Amino acid sequence: MMNIIEKIIAAHSGKALVQPGDIVNIEIDARSARDFGGPNVVKHIEDLGLSIDDPSKTFFTFDTNPTGSDQKYAASQQVLRLFARKRGIKVFDIDNGIGTHTFIREGLVWPGSTAVTTDSHANILGAIGAFGQGMGDKDIAAAFHQGKVWFKVPQSAKITFTGEFSPNVTAKDVVLNLLNRFGANSLLGYSVEFYGEAIEKLTLDQRITIASMGTEMGVIILLFPPNDDIMKYCEERTGRKLEKISADTDAVYDKEFTINAADFIPMVSRPGKPHDTVDINLEKRVKIDSAFVGSCTNGRMEDMRTVARILKNRKVAPGVVFKIVPTTDVIWKQCLDEGLIEIFKNAGALVSNAGCAGCAAGQVGQNGPGEVTISSGNRNFPGKQGKGLVYLASPASVTASAVAGYITTEDDIPDTPAIFETPETLDLKKAVKVGKAQEDRPTEVSGRVWMVEKDNIDTDMIFHNRYLQVTELEKMGQYIFDNLEGYEDFAKKAKPGDIVVTRKNFGSGSSRQQAVDGFLALGIHAILAESFGAIYERNAINAALPILTYKSLEDIKIADGDTLNINFVTGDVVNETRNLSTKVDPFSEVQLEIYRNGGLF
């Protein structure tokens, strides 16, 4: 009576049966840290004198800055190389590409296996029916040391597709349509399984594209039951016979949906929110300055061939910069062997070495103030890929737009490209302040309220990626919310003991620990939200930052500046300013234990 996620977790925790809400220790088949986050993992291990459970299952991947062109990243990469040599850990260096794709290609993961990395898109492994999770540096250090991590069995949803996708609907369009329907938090924390004939026909590359944006939907993972082609591929990569993972016929799902695949259309995400998706025809003729194809979502070989087909015998529009980044070096070389690189260059495109590209600060795919970009990436949060505006679309639509000079589709490329217009310049200076870390461990606190009434506040809004090299906790607080509109001066005005009250899906996005630790540096007593991003929730619990979820706070009429009293153990909340009380979800046993311990370690 178990579904796929439950079967994987049960098999890796020594349980005959698990169900939603169970907290278990899961054996991890592949444990990895990237050049982003990796140095903090090493710091935890060395500071605490921890051993490595199994070096053969432990890896470093240098994919966020594959050029090593940033001095801080280059230093971080060398720290990891030296550590790897001492501990016998394999490094997939700057000549390799994106780690999650490498895991699949190298047979380090397979249907039914488990993996954790510091990559928030590790759930891409759902494409082959594997469990992948992005986690913060404390979790990854624990996985390196113990070979296991604690995990809460999630609720599951089942989506069954009827009919067929239209020929002009790509895999990227499929996931943009799903974001349009489900948004960023209606399936928050769920494991989602896909079924139907249209799903069965999807290739590995197409499955990877869809699975990679599970993070933007707020889900734990988007899981594809592996078909015969996927099983054959994984058996070739692992070099052994594998057992196909599937849900029991009587598997239980908390939610079930049936969707007509024929209803899906080509779409685009408007700047600022991946889930703000619309019919691409509504955004046609929007002038662009740049285009980008790449990222873990759309830098596969099928994507490269699509780009080449549209670019052949065409030129990129004057004044438009078109950047192309394959996901792995193997794909880059295949592009070279098939003559695609020549097509790209003849068209006037820039081709970079394999890696994460625009999702990592300073890499190919970033844009400048006022720049309008159409991208095949997975995120377009404000500031994520630079100071400009980013639309998300399929590689076909991105390439067609690069040729047209404005947003369009492959079937509507003009004979004459649009005329370039100069973008405006933006002033993005912020006020910041250094705060102080809290030190005590009370289970009941009182503090002044900050009402942040927004859904889907992502980690780039909380702690922007331009500060990722900050590793000293006492320096992190000054950057909290400086990329959140209306709260840029939060760090300057916040006081130790304050309490933040917000709404749904707080902390969505990247797996950056600083977005948690910055609040600790400011001395924030607690954060209350309707729901938290899955990775952020883990990071906060592991760092002993008090976070609690609520269903409603209407009956205590909270306003900015009110004083709240919160009991973490009972869930009692009192608005002392108005003498009104209510209940929120108290700490779980695991959260309370970690909190009283002062953190995971």
Angle between helices 514-522 and 534-542 (to 10 degrees): 50
Q: What is the DSSP letter of 367?
A: B
Residues 6+ apart with CB under 8 A from 447: 497, 498, 499, 525, 526, 563, 564
Amino acid at 427: D
pLDDT, residue 437, reads 35
Q: What order of strands is seen across the sheet that includes strand 156-162?
A: 221-223, 191-195, 156-162, 255-260
Where are the domains positioned within the chain? 4-263, 280-412, 444-596
Q: What percent of the chain has pLDDT over 90?
A: 84
Q: Could you read off the pLDDT of 131-187 as tens digits, one per residue?
A: 999 999 999 999 999 999 999 999 999 999 999 999 999 999 999 999 999 999 899
CATH class (in words) of the domain with range 444-596: alpha beta
388 near 272, Cβ under 8 Å? no
CATH class (in words) of the domain with range 280-412: alpha beta
Angle at 56 between CA 55 and CA 57, to 5 degrees: 90
Angle at 458 between CA 453 and CA 462, to 5 degrees: 80
**Maximum pairwise Cα distance, the chain:** 72
What is the Cα gyration radius of the chain?
23
Question: Are domains 4-263 and 444-596 of this chain identical in fold?
Answer: no
Report DSSP letters for 486-529, one per residue: T-TTHHHH--TT-EEE--TTBTBS---THHHHHHHHHT--EEEE
Instruction: Note the CATH number of domain 4-263.
Output: 3.30.499.10
Q: What tokens were used for 114? A: 């488990």
Q: Is the dihedral of CA 62, 63, 69, 72 positive or negative?
A: negative
pLDDT, residue 187, reads 95
pLDDT, residue 281, reads 95
Q: Which ranges of the chain have pLDDT less than 70?
A: 361-362, 420-440
**Total residue length of the chain:** 601
pLDDT, residue 361, reads 62
